[in-house]
């Protein structure tokens, strides 16, 4: 049995109960009875929910966004965040380099601010992330003395225990490992894996497994994810993610689900990728895992009528793919306003990627998602609650 005794064949007990509830939930859907919408943001009976957060609630779907601590002091940023979203994920503040800048010093200020804001507004927090090749501090990448695997093992074990332990009971889910695979399905070579690694170089996904086990020990109730980009459709990378997930489930490694990032262009729903996405969701769901859309953005060059229409369609279709798959428990965008988005820096000329423009004006993409959530009867039976 896995640590904590909570996992049977990798599926938390609560998940298996949810799957039983599914059959019943399906009957309710067929008979036209939907979720009550009780809770934060419920609407008077008869009225259509006016926010993404409220509208998603009746599908038992979490609506999330990445956010930064800096702009929380801007009134419109904070009010949009708390009104429209039920999940907040720190975009950078929990990354190794920011939260653990010196070997003997952690800086929790930004992360604490975001966690406190979310909890005060009845939102869940998704932690991002514990093990990644990017945004590492100098003391990790350029040490005075080369690392030994044993020393690095201790560093990572302490880091995960400290960060997950601090937010135990507050962060409901963690991206424990971020982007561990190359596009060809091989494992990425970097400091935590094999340069020099934490002692498991050449042992396949053992480093990922170890990180999951450390995180589980630090907070046995947190959901634990491996998060990837480019693994949304059927390809070498998603096959590798699937093989890892299947193996972990079989051996009771504490993995709750897979995060699919979904940084896309409107081309995504014009070339068969949507079908592939659904296929991929089905095979991951069949393992009993959750799948979460973790970093959705649909980049466009401008806000012309054509661009807006294309973008709205892609957002709507991605949301539809999630709604149709009961194992898809979160639809999260990577930020919500173009005022703060990583896109223009990494994709110059594409400043138009999120559901709100730079002035927090709702785009057609926003309204397309709201309409999708408020339409009835075209998504499958969903769990009676967000697992």
Please identify every residue annotated as catalytic: 179, 295
Residue 337 binds ligand G3I, judged by CB under 6 A: no
HSE-up (13 A, CA, CB side) for residue 195: 10
Instruction: Find the binder of ligand G3I among 95, 237, 372, 387 (CB under 6 A).
Output: 95
Least distance between ligand G3I and beta carbon 353 (Å): 11
Instruction: Find the binder of ligand G3I among 2, 29, 35, 91 (CB under 6 A).
Output: 91
Instruction: Find the binder of ligand G3I among 14, 36, 103, 134 (CB under 6 A).
Output: 134
User: Is the Cβ of residue 110 or residue 326 nearer to ligand G3I in the bound state?
Assistant: 110
Residue 261 binds ligand G3I, judged by CB under 6 A: yes
Tokens of 381: 């039976």
In sequence order, which residues have a C-beta less than 8 Å from that of residue 372 and are 6 or more positions away? 316, 319, 320, 323
Residue 135 binds ligand G3I, judged by CB under 6 A: yes
User: Is the Cβ of residue 15 or residue 332 nearer to ligand G3I in the bound state?
Assistant: 332
Instruction: Find the binder of ligand G3I among 92, 162, 278, 375 (CB under 6 A).
Output: 92
Residue with the CB atom nearest ligand G3I in the bound state: 342
Least distance between ligand G3I and beta carbon 295 (Å): 5
In sequence order, which residues have a C-beta less than 8 Å from that of residue 259 and are 6 or more positions away? 175, 225, 226, 227, 228, 291, 292, 293, 294, 295
In sequence order, which residues have a C-beta less than 8 Å from that of residue 235 and are 6 or more positions away? 183
Name the DSSP class of 102: B
User: Is the Cβ of residue 92 or residue 239 nearer to ligand G3I in the bound state?
Assistant: 92
User: Is the Cβ of residue 93 or residue 320 nearer to ligand G3I in the bound state?
Assistant: 93
User: Is the Cβ of residue 130 or residue 323 nearer to ligand G3I in the bound state?
Assistant: 130
Binding part of the chain for ligand G3I, among 22-30, 89-97, 117-125, 206-214 by CB under 6 A, reads 89-97
Distance of CA 365 to CAs 229, 233, 336, Å?
A: 22, 22, 11
Residue 295 binds ligand G3I, judged by CB under 6 A: yes
Binding part of the chain for ligand G3I, among 71-79, 91-99, 157-165, 280-288 by CB under 6 A, reads 91-99
Binding part of the chain for ligand G3I, among 29-37, 87-95, 184-192, 280-288 by CB under 6 A, reads 87-95
Contact between 327 and 290 under an 8 Å Cβ cutoff? The reply is yes
Please give the full DSSP string across 285-350, using - where no structure is assigned: HTTT-EEEEEEEEE-BS---HHHHHHHHHHHHHHHHHHHT-TTEEEEEES-SBTTS-SHHHHSTT-
Residue 232 binds ligand G3I, judged by CB under 6 A: no
Least distance between ligand G3I and beta carbon 290 (Å): 19
User: Is the Cβ of residue 19 or residue 342 nearer to ligand G3I in the bound state?
Assistant: 342
Counting beta carbons within 10 angstroms of the beta carbon of residue 304, is it exposed (0 to 12), middle (13 to 18) or buried (19 or more)?
exposed
Residue reference for tokens 């093990």: 131
Instruction: Find the binder of ligand G3I among 19, 106, 147, 342 (CB under 6 A).
Output: 342
Distance of CA 78 to CAs 88, 120, 360, Å?
A: 11, 12, 11
CA distance 203 to 207: 8
Tokens of 262: 């979904």
User: Is the Cβ of residue 84 or residue 295 nearer to ligand G3I in the bound state?
Assistant: 295
Our measurement of the distance from residue 376's CA atom to the centroid of its chain's CA atoms, rounded to an integer in Å, reads 25
| Residues at the site binding ligand G3I, with contacts judged by CB under 6 A | 91-92, 95, 134-135, 178, 229, 261, 295, 342
């Amino acid at each position: 049995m896995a640590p904590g005794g909570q996992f049977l064949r990798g599926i938390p007990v609560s998940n298996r109960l949810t799957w039983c509830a599914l059959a019943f939930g399906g009957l309710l859907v067929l008979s036209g009875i939907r979720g009550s919408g009780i809770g934060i943001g419920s609407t008077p009976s008869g009225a259509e929910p006016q926010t993404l957060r409220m509208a998603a609630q009746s599908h038992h779907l979490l609506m999330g966004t990445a956010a930064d601590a800096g702009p929380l002091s801007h009134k419109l940023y904070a009010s949009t965040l708390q009104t429209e979203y039920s999940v907040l994920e720190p975009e950078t503040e929990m990354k190794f380099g920011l939260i653990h800048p010196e070997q003997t010093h952690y800086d929790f200020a930004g992360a604490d601010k975001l966690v406190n804001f979310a909890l005060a507004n009845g939102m869940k927090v998704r932690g991002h992330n514990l093990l990644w090749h990017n945004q590492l501090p100098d003391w990790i990448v350029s040490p005075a003395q080369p690392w030994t695997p044993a020393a690095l093992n201790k560093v990572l074990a302490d880091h995960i225990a400290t960060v997950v332990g601090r937010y135990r009971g507050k962060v409901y889910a963690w991206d424990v490992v971020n982007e561990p695979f190359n596009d060809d399905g091989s494992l990425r070579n970097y400091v935590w894996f094999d340069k020099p690694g934490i002692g498991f170089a050449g042992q396949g996904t053992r480093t990922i497994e170890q990180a999951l086990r450390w995180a589980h020990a630090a907070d046995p109730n947190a959901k634990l994810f491996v998060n990837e980009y480019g693994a949304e459709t059927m390809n070498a990378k998603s096959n590798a993610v699937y093989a890892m997930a299947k193996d972990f489930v079989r051996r009771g490694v504490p993995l709750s689900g897979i995060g699919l990032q979904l940084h896309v262009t409107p081309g995504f729903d014009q070339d068969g990728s949507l079908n592939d996405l659904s296929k991929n969701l089905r095979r991951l769901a069949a393992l009993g895992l959750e799948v979460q859309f973790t970093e959705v953005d649909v980049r466009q060059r401008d806000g012309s009528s054509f661009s807006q229409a294309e973008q709205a369609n892609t957002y709507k279709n991605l949301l539809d793919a999630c709604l149709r798959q009961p194992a898809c428990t979160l639809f999260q965008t990577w930020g919500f306003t173009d005022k703060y988005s990583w896109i223009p820096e990494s994709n110059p000329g594409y400043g138009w990627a999120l559901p709100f423009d730079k002035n927090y004006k709702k785009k057609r993409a926003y309204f397309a998602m709201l309409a999708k959530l408020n339409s009835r009867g075209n998504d499958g039976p969903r769990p009676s609650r967000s697992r």
